Amino acid sequence: MSTRLAGKVCLIAGTTGIARASAVLFGSEGASIVAIGRSREHAAELQAELDRAGVPAATQIDDLTSEGAAARTLQCALERFGRVDVLFHVAGISGRSFGDGPLHECTDAGWDAVMTTNVRAMMQLNRACIVHWLAAQRSGTILNMASVLGFSFSIEYFGTVAYAAAKAAIIAMSQNAAATYAKHGIRVNVIAPALVDTPMARRATLDPAILEFLKRKQPLTQKPLTDRDCAEAALYLCSDAAAAVTGIVLPVDGGWCVSG
């Protein structure tokens, strides 16, 4: 049995898709898991799956955009396991239903919804963990979820300006933090997937034109990536195998960034 995260407490923001796959994989590698999500149903499903696998775990129902959610989430982990070693922040939204789109169509409400959920909430939970680690004089690991759309655009099918701006902001925030806190033993990295078959991406993964496009744009897979593809990459960056790695952006993209 592999134990690449043995003894570590991993806090995961999200309970579906990549977050769920990562929670299950991290648990199988010896980690204790604290997961936070807005859906009681999804949290219960994840808790049951982890319980069946014998993984020490706690799930919390909360909206990370709400006042005090970051502090409540960290406190949940500390009360349950006494510490946090890893934060993997996955949770986010696409924003289309809120008014995101090309710049000339993006509404203020769409912009604010995407930035609040995808950037501010992530910043607040990152900040809470870093403040805790600094006060406790402990090292820690953060992995944030961006997207290839933050730097490798595809406007024909994925022309949402707020989403792209948010993912680029996540990269800048993470690299700034990596530079600031490396001397304290705190690592901060970014994973940037292309199109992954998750509940949030259902619009795209069910579109025949996009699936045809992926045969050229993601030539390694010629179809959407799996949440397990991303979880495996996340496992490396969250484990001690990456102890000397900080400030990187790792595309998990099936060849997206090197394809026309």
Question: What does the pLDDT look like over 185-233, one tens digit per residue?
Answer: 999 999 999 999 998 888 899 999 999 999 999 999 999 999 999 999 9
The whole-angstrom separation of Cα 78 and Cα 228 is 28
The whole-angstrom separation of Cα 135 and Cα 137 is 5
Closest to 9 in 3D by CA, of 88, 68, 72, 63: 88
At 34-87, the pLDDT tens digits run 999 999 999 999 999 999 999 999 999 999 999 999 999 999 999 999 999 999
Active-site positions? Answer: 163
244 located within any domain: yes
**Total structural domains in the chain?**
1
Average pLDDT over residues 227-255: 98
Kindly report the number of other CB atoms within 10 A of residue 132's CB atom.
Answer: 18
**pTM tops 0.85, yes or no:** yes
3 located within any domain: no
Domain extent at residue 67 = 9-198+226-255
What residue has token string 């959920």? Answer: 117
CA angle, 9 then 227 then 121, to 5°: 55
21 located within any domain: yes
205 located within any domain: no
Task: Write the single-letter amino acid at 47.
Answer: Q
144 located within any domain: yes
Kindly give, in sequence order, each residue whose CB lies less than 8 Å from that of residue 33, ignoring residues fewer than 6 positions away.
10, 12, 23, 26, 27, 50, 55, 56, 57, 58
145 located within any domain: yes
